[in-house]
Structure 1
């Protein structure tokens, strides 16, 4: 199995979710199943069916998170080689050459991507166009509306 890059912060979030699922959600659903079972006839017991479905979801999510964490290559952006180039985990300040707008993105793993937080996946077109660029370079990004050009203003390793 190949390793999947993830930032240190992203790995911590996955570990916290896994701990919550194991310590709170799993025991709660087991208790709900026991309560529903105590009500008698399981064939028409909606609470039992809902609890079993919830248990199935929780167990699936636990297995998924454990798999992701076991395959994760955790990268701490603050420890990266600071040669000024855009790499996984770096934060990039860009200027849209058409509109003049400035945007800031951090390049993160697939599971961490969240545009509301300006975190873009390493597999996204903009991240792929930026990898290896330095301040002053222009990146051409294939967007749905056509090719967009961005100038790299700054590269940070936070």
Structure 2
């Protein structure tokens, strides 16, 4: 049964890991500039490695800054990366699921999860709009160096 729910506390990491492991074809993420460091840490990074190993196409939009540049360059080993000025908030969508982070003062406090087909399709459309408006990472990195 398809549903949308809010996940909080200790269950967030497990929900993210399940989302990552469920992806079969396409993983699209649009995240604020603080998330590349989180994406390249511990279990989350393992999820990217495993998805790439399964042949998942991963596209990632963020604001590439001087501060997150090392993490973005590392991400480029796993994802097709693009830059978009002023990205706020974070979400990811696959062929069948959607997650969005709700941050507190210094950490992820809640996660919105949905496998409702209409919600997933809507989020895929939003991602495609942002992807089309973004700049390839290599162009942005040249500007920063």
TM-score normalised according to structure 2 size? 0.23
TM-score normalised according to structure 1 size? 0.22
**RCO comparison, higher one (Cα < 8 Å, 6+):** 2
Larger-Rg structure: 1
